[in-house]
Structure 1
Amino acid sequence: MIQNWRHLPAPARPIAAATTAAVTAARAHDPEALTAATAGLAALDPAQTGLILGTSVRLLLERAHPDGLDGDAVRAVLERCVRSAAAWHPATDPHVVLHLLTGALGVLDEDAADVPKPDARARHAALLLADLLGGSPVEEILTAALSEIERTQLND
């Protein structure tokens, strides 16, 4: 399904489009397409991109673990994602995936010295989302994440 994202606020449209392209490339195991898509994603506003991608990851984790997420579950997600991605994308870095997971769960120090660069975060976010989504459409989780962000901002 091709999504034009016209229903979204203007700042969210390029993030949703770039994320969709990056996840599609990750699902296809296409390193060149992934590099191109994540370059566009990494060039966007890091705060907005991080909020949307982090919320998407958190929602997927909550859906997969409705009774709560513990350390073993996070470790299992980390291992599965890294193994799956490393099979076709040798530059997969477990540290970056862990950074994304802890950030999505709100237990990350963004001021730490070892924060991955935007291109690495974008690439690994696409790999993580592709893994967590399984066969589900990326559009659904992005729409859910943006709705939750909007609700949170309206209630603050």
Structure 2
Amino acid sequence: MTTTWRHLPASAREIAGAATEAVAAARDRDVEAYGPAVDRLTAADRAGLVLGGVVRLLLEETHPDGLAGDDVRQVLERCVRSAAQWRPDVDPHVLLVLLAGALGVYDPGDDDAPPDPAAIARHAPLLVADLLAAAGQPLEGYLTAAFAEVARTELHD
């Protein structure tokens, strides 16, 4: 990890460390490193919120004119195809929920329970790694921005 995250509270440092490890393992398709990093993410309270912020920021940057349905489909298909090569358990529905949640349009409805935190933790790094590759950028700046966004939201609530 190139960033120490010392300026963050302990819980945020844990999310940053776990997210950095999981996204790096996803980028490198490192099966052995991915499991423990995902376990850390699952245990980290609010990791899904932070990674959702990272996904939203990446989507905004890679689609500055906004996202159409075809854009979402292309992101989903690209991520599923890439991840399925080394993660045969990838679930397109969970990735779609992550995308919809990051865009603020996810409504589980009466018959659809949201994915559990472990499923979110297993899939969010795959999506983030895919979007980072498309953006050609490192994770750190997006994590910093996502933490700042969460802090602003908490201040105003």
Flag whether TM exceeds 0.5 (same fold).
yes
Cα RMSD after superposing both structures: 1.6
CA distance in 1, matches of 2:79, 2:125: 11
What percent of counterpart residues are identical? Answer: 61
- Cα distance, 1:76 vs. partner? 0.7
Instruction: After TM superposition, give the deviation of residue 132 of structure 1 in Å.
Output: 0.3
Whether 2:20 is the aligned partner of 1:20: answer yes
For residues 41 and 108 of structure 2, the distance between their equivalents in structure 1, rounded to whole angstroms, comes to 19
Q: Distance in 1 between matches of 2:3 and 2:155?
A: 25
Q: CA deviation at 1:110?
A: 5.4
In the alignment, which residue of structure 1 is the partner of 2:127?
128
Stretches of 4+ moved more than 6 A in 1?
none
Matched position secondary structure for 2:72: helix
| C-alpha separation in 1, matches of 2:33 and 2:115 | 21
Query: Which residue of structure 2 lines up, in the alignment, with residue 10 of structure 1?
Result: 10
1:146 equivalent in structure 2 = 147
Unaligned runs of 5+ in 2: none
Residue 114 of structure 1: SS of its match in structure 2? Answer: coil
TM-score (norm 2): 0.90
Letter of the 1:80 counterpart = R
- 1:111 Cα shift? 7.2
Unaligned runs of 5+ in 1: none
Q: Deviations over 1:46-71 (max 9, x none)?
A: xx212111111001000111111111
8 Å contact 1:3–1:17 — kept in the other structure?
no
TM-score of the two chains, using structure 1 as the length reference: 0.91
- The number of equivalent residue pairs is 154
